[in-house]
A = this chain, B = another copy of it.
């Protein structure tokens, strides 16, 4: 019995779901719109995608997405398909064309969203996955327990390398664990990558020499491959411990190639996630996509945050974080570290911890740290204290009686 790839979709169709399922399975394997003499029963049995399961969910009278094939009724269901690995081999790019290729455009499809993906062991044999993951990140950041408390350089763009280093100076002095570039800031003429890294790492290294704590800075090296490799090498040469890349900007091939080259953890930003996920009837849940990104080498994966400033609901955020912490497959964990961001403060610590049961994550806050009336140091301390309270099962109010920085933070966090 050969290996098979399983994908589960939310499907809405103007057709009979069983027939629509067969059309999708055909289009994404051996079939096409017309019957072909060369698609023999033997070939179809060997190479055809298989409809594993159809679970009816309900019907609608209007289609979720426009279609030229109107109907009085649109049926919604869960659809599980499977493919023999012999169709494509353990190749992530062709996996995308197979599970997320031309099927979204089919006429009978008025809604299609990839919910789940189960990959066979061959993929873990072909792709190394994160080189550092949780354990390697903790080691490099010098944070044995609790979340990495982090922040983002803001303004997103506009600061010079010197101004960026000045902001980093304040943050490392304040006891932060982790700092990242904004996704808009890679190598703009106003803040060239190499100069920024050099100036920032001078601050980070100086602090490390004095205190023993080397703050992890995720430098956004997103770009063409040769430039990403050069930028990575510069970060290594300056003693840096992390690089950041925008997944949807460089693609699977770009990330995998960076992973092959990289000696540092890869902090993976999902800018553009909205166009892949914002319509409930189209695109992707995070769970299947993040498996692909982890196989390609992502060590840290953004998951938004509870009560974030974007439109993503909390359930979706937690489901995403859980998926990042779950094994890619039973035989290969390849665990990555979820990154929480967007309007975060210590007020989200308890709920986040309750939902995940772990502190193996990066919690980044901007205003929640910088806005502290007693300064950055108090902001970092307050966020850390919030997590300590969550782990200890203590309320923020109780902990605040012993931690003045937290008491101060509770005045302005909301």
A residues apposed to B, CB below 8 Å: 28-34, 36, 38-39, 43-44, 46-48, 65-69, 85-89, 91-94, 96-98, 100-107, 109, 112, 154-159, 163, 167, 183-184, 186-190, 222-228, 246, 248-257, 260, 269, 271-276, 278-284, 309-313, 342-343, 366-367, 370-371
**Are A87 and B250 in contact (CB-based, < 8 A)?**
no
CB-based nearest B residue for A284: B275
For the complex, what is the distance from the CA of A39 to the CA of B247, rounded to whole Å? 27
CB-based nearest B residue for A256: B224
Which of B30, B39, B283 contacts A275 (CB under 8 A)?
B283
Copies held by the complex: 2
**Are A91 and B275 in contact (CB-based, < 8 A)?**
no
**Are B97 and A271 in contact (CB-based, < 8 A)?**
yes
**Are B366 and A274 in contact (CB-based, < 8 A)?**
no
For the complex, what is the distance from the CA of A69 to the CA of B260, rounded to whole Å? 43
Taking A93-B222, A98-B184 as known contacts, 9 extra A-B pairs with beta carbons closer than 8 A to each other, sorted by chain A number, are: A28-B184, A30-B158, A34-B371, A94-B186, A101-B184, A224-B256, A225-B253, A257-B257, A275-B276
**Are A93 and B190 in contact (CB-based, < 8 A)?**
no
**Are A282 and B278 in contact (CB-based, < 8 A)?**
yes
**Are B155 and A39 in contact (CB-based, < 8 A)?**
yes
Task: For the complex formed, measure the closest distance between the CB of A189 and the CB atoms of chain B, giving whole angstroms.
Answer: 5
**Are A272 and B97 in contact (CB-based, < 8 A)?**
yes
**Are A43 and B159 in contact (CB-based, < 8 A)?**
yes
**Are B158 and A47 in contact (CB-based, < 8 A)?**
yes
Task: For the complex formed, measure the closest distance between the CB of A102 and the CB atoms of chain B, giving whole angstroms.
Answer: 5
**Are B186 and A91 in contact (CB-based, < 8 A)?**
yes
Residue among A36, A102, A257 with max Cβ neighbours from chain B (10 Å): A102
CB-based nearest B residue for A224: B256
**Are A88 and B184 in contact (CB-based, < 8 A)?**
yes
27 A-B interface contacts by CB (under 8 A): A28-B184, A30-B157, A31-B155, A31-B156, A33-B367, A38-B167, A47-B190, A48-B158, A69-B311, A91-B187, A91-B222, A93-B246, A94-B223, A97-B222, A98-B184, A100-B248, A101-B183, A102-B272, A104-B272, A105-B310, A105-B311, A112-B274, A225-B225, A252-B254, A254-B254, A254-B257, A279-B282
**Are A33 and B156 in contact (CB-based, < 8 A)?**
no
**Are A96 and B246 in contact (CB-based, < 8 A)?**
yes
Which of B69, B104, B260, B274 contacts A274 (CB under 8 A)?
B104
Instruction: Provide the residues of chain B in CB contact with A68, threshold 8 Å.
Output: 311, 313
